[in-house]
Chain A
Amino acid sequence: MLIQLFKNYFLSEKPPGATIADLNLELDPRVSIETLRTYNFTRNEIIHYSFLTLVFVFSFSIIPVSFFLVKLPIICLFCLILLIPFTSQFFLNALPVLAWVALFFSSPNISSIHKPAITVKVLPAVETILYGDNLSQILATSTNSVLDILAWLPYGIIHFSLPFIVAGIIFLWGPPTALRSFAFAFGYMNLFGVIIQLLFPAAPPWYKILHGLDPANYSMLGSPGGLARIDTLLHVDLYTTNFSKNSPVVFGAFPSLHSGSATMDALFLTYLFPKFAPLFVFYVTWLWWSTMYLTHHYFIDVIAGSLLSFVVFLYTKYKHLPVNESRAKNRWSYAEIRKLNLFKMDPLKLSLDSDVDQGYKPAISGTRTRSSSLHNPANGIEMNFMSRQAQSPVKDLQTENTAAPLTAGSSGSISPDASSVFESELPRSISRSSNTSATSVESQFDLGVAPSTSNKSRTD
């Protein structure tokens, strides 16, 4: 019954022969080992994996448990999960998230001798100087049970469940490989956030309420802040004990990862459903208010969290995230994915000719600049990524100058510089529908072959 429903809804538009949306069901680790032996890592991949390995090694090294009894079995299990193609397709892409979780929960084991000094005044001072007043303090002064529940919903309930819901929505309704972009952005945002919290420990607003602006030290306990009222209201101990005694980062007010996560959720949901952007913005502002009302963050913290999210999302959007085709029904509607080319999308590129002699050279010339890696996958069309990931090295089709013949304008957030199987002006019959259409007219376009017979072929 469920399978039939799945086939009727999700697979109804699946192009014949398309495999890009399929999961890799291979269980043999030797396939991954063989792939690894011949795989050529890019510079960015080397930096990515080296950095994450460092975080894992650091996190593991400070956990006070037996190496042979606990750490070694975990490491072996982890390696096995990464080597089995079926599990690796999830866990390999979730590494930034896992690294963040590992660092966050192991951070209490860092000796306070090695931790930086805790600031108490900086955040409230900066909040007043940049935003005109102690906004967080003002919003937390007037409390009642209704507002408590309104604040608790986004802070204590939606915040923890939404990333999983967003991930599920992206997997089902986003283009293939979009979920790994979400994992990359969400993981790195939180990882950078925790690193900043550890390097710049700062007292949250509840500290000011309890201790004023007195100097802080690491022997001080945390506090649930306004969440203690929720415990009282519900007659449970959801937060009081956890925040008082078990909080991994007590002085981690800056930046707010609640704000960062909400912003990342909102950005990816806007990417999928642009029409609902105001709703997602409302959610972020609702969560901002709740963090301040519950005395967990200053306004500067929530802004910093959102800025961190925004910057990481922009990088991911231009580097990894496939274009969300507005006419695609769901994940299985895709026969191929396209990526943005920030240089080709430049709305001011017409003025570049006159700018070259003034010093600005667009990186599409082929010379390597500090940002040249950003346009490597640009406009690239990935086909059958999953099967290739397991069986052979990734080999993207680069279509640098092939967009024009099929381009019929932009739709939504889609680049006007890339061809699409979802262009409304073109009959569906000519769209590339599978990896078997290597000699089709569309492939000629993609490979830069002049479309001399295109009109005839279209009518065929």
Chain B
Amino acid sequence: MSELLQKIPVVQSFLGLPLYIGMEVSLGVTLLNKFSGFYGLLALFTGHPLEFLQWVFYLVSIIVIPFYGEAFSTILKPSLLTFAPVVMGFVVDSLISAIFILYFAFQWVYLEDVKIEQVPGQDYSKSASQSYEYGVTFFTALGTQLVRMYFAVLAVSFYRKLVKVASIQGEVNVDDVELDLKNKRFYQRWIYKVQYQCYKFLKGKL
């Protein structure tokens, strides 16, 4: 993982704009998409069964929302602790999302899709051809995967700069920060613990 992080290319700007704008866009886009987890689990109330991979997919989508949400709301005052899980999440997401895409594409093709047989006399002049339908679907999935990878590159680049800024400002080492965790709520303690573990993992690697 550390070797992979080292190999990820670094970008200096986002479409000619400062990197934090790119992070604001990528976090906003990702947050909106992660809300799919709630709707996936809502399916349970309709009696729809979920497979193991769907459970994982939806639960992980919901779990990352607080981390991405905190980073999104503090984009103008970013900290290493807040953005460490974002970097980890984006990198891991870009790696394993391809597996989910392939698995769910398999599900679609074999369980949902039907072969279309044209009925004589019907007007198909403005109906999309099957190759067009599959082509657009394929390129949308591919485009989504590429965007996820770009977001991971953005997050790594942003974090690298954040480390540099923190060193210039002489930021207090996160290890030394005393936090009154006992008086925090349980989920705040867990969020902090995850952030700290991610920060420790990334320390020295980026």
- Given A125-B137, A217-B124, the answer on whether A132 and B100 have CB atoms closer than 8 Å is yes
Interface size class of A (residues with CB under 8 A): 35 or more
For A306, list chain B residues within 8 Å (CB).
32
Instruction: For A314, give its contact among B24, B57, B165 (CB under 8 Å).
Output: B24
How far is A131 from B108 in the complex, measured between Cα atoms in Å? 11
For A371, list chain B residues within 8 Å (CB).
15-17
- Given A128-B108, A310-B28, the answer on whether A350 and B169 have CB atoms closer than 8 Å is yes
For A216, list chain B residues within 8 Å (CB).
126-127
Minimum CB–CB distance for A269 against chain B, Å: 16
CB–CB B164/A360 < 8 A: no
The reply to whether the CB of B133 lies closer than 8 angstroms to some CB of chain A is yes
The reply to whether the CB of A327 lies closer than 8 angstroms to some CB of chain B is no
For A360, list chain B residues within 8 Å (CB).
12-13
CB–CB A348/B40 < 8 A: no
CB–CB A307/B101 < 8 A: no
The reply to whether the CB of A2 lies closer than 8 angstroms to some CB of chain B is no
CB–CB B114/A289 < 8 A: no
Smallest CB gap from A219: residue in B: B123
How far is A141 from B127 in the complex, measured between Cα atoms in Å? 27
Which chain A residues numbered 279 to 317 have a C-beta less than 8 Å away from chain B?
A: 285, 288-289, 292, 299, 303, 306-307, 310-311, 314
For B42, list chain A residues within 8 Å (CB).
138-139, 289
Q: Mark B33-55, 1 if CB is under 8 A from A, else 0.
A: 10110111011011110100110
CB–CB B165/A362 < 8 A: no
Smallest CB gap from B36: residue in A: A131
How far is A115 from B42 in the complex, measured between Cα atoms in Å? 37
CB–CB A133/B18 < 8 A: no
CB–CB A217/B125 < 8 A: yes
Smallest CB gap from A370: residue in B: B16
For B100, list chain A residues within 8 Å (CB).
132
How far is A422 from B26 in the complex, measured between Cα atoms in Å? 32
CB–CB A135/B108 < 8 A: no
CB–CB B43/A135 < 8 A: yes
Which chain A residues numbered 295 to 353 have a C-beta less than 8 Å away from chain B?
A: 299, 303, 306-307, 310-311, 314, 318, 342-343, 345-351
How far is A362 from B14 in the complex, measured between Cα atoms in Å? 11
CB–CB A119/B76 < 8 A: no
CB–CB B114/A212 < 8 A: yes
CB–CB A132/B58 < 8 A: yes
CB–CB B101/A129 < 8 A: yes
CB–CB B54/A121 < 8 A: no
CB–CB A112/B126 < 8 A: yes
How far is A311 from B123 in the complex, measured between Cα atoms in Å? 38
Instruction: For B118, give its contact among A118, A125, A215, A343 (CB under 8 Å).
Output: A215
Which chain B residues numbered 79 to 106 have a C-beta less than 8 Å away from chain A?
A: 100-101, 104-105
For A120, list chain B residues within 8 Å (CB).
127-128, 133
CB–CB A355/B12 < 8 A: yes
How far is A299 from B43 in the complex, measured between Cα atoms in Å? 13
Most chain A beta carbons < 10 A, residue from B18, B19, B107, B141:
B18
CB–CB A289/B129 < 8 A: no
For A118, list chain B residues within 8 Å (CB).
126-128
CB–CB A348/B137 < 8 A: no
Smallest CB gap from B162: residue in A: A348
CB–CB B112/A134 < 8 A: yes
The reply to whether the CB of A410 lies closer than 8 angstroms to some CB of chain B is yes
The reply to whether the CB of A126 lies closer than 8 angstroms to some CB of chain B is yes
The reply to whether the CB of A225 lies closer than 8 angstroms to some CB of chain B is no
- Given A121-B137, A129-B104, the answer on whether A142 and B45 have CB atoms closer than 8 Å is yes
The reply to whether the CB of B158 lies closer than 8 angstroms to some CB of chain A is yes
How far is A134 from B54 in the complex, measured between Cα atoms in Å? 12
For B113, list chain A residues within 8 Å (CB).
121, 125, 213
The reply to whether the CB of A214 lies closer than 8 angstroms to some CB of chain B is yes
CB–CB B76/A141 < 8 A: no
For A363, list chain B residues within 8 Å (CB).
16
**Beyond A139-B46, A289-B42, A342-B21, 5 extra complex contacts between A and B, CB < 8 Å:** A121-B137, A129-B108, A132-B36, A132-B58, A289-B39
Interface residues of B (CB under 8 A from A): 12-13, 15-21, 24-25, 28-29, 32-33, 35-36, 38-40, 42-43, 45-48, 50, 53-54, 57-58, 75-78, 100-101, 104-105, 107-108, 112-114, 116, 118, 122-130, 132-134, 136-137, 140-141, 144, 158, 161-162, 164-165, 168-169
Interface residues of A (CB under 8 A from B): 112, 115-122, 124-126, 128-135, 138-139, 141-142, 212-219, 285, 288-289, 292, 299, 303, 306-307, 310-311, 314, 318, 342-343, 345-351, 354-355, 358-360, 362-363, 369-371, 374, 410, 415-416
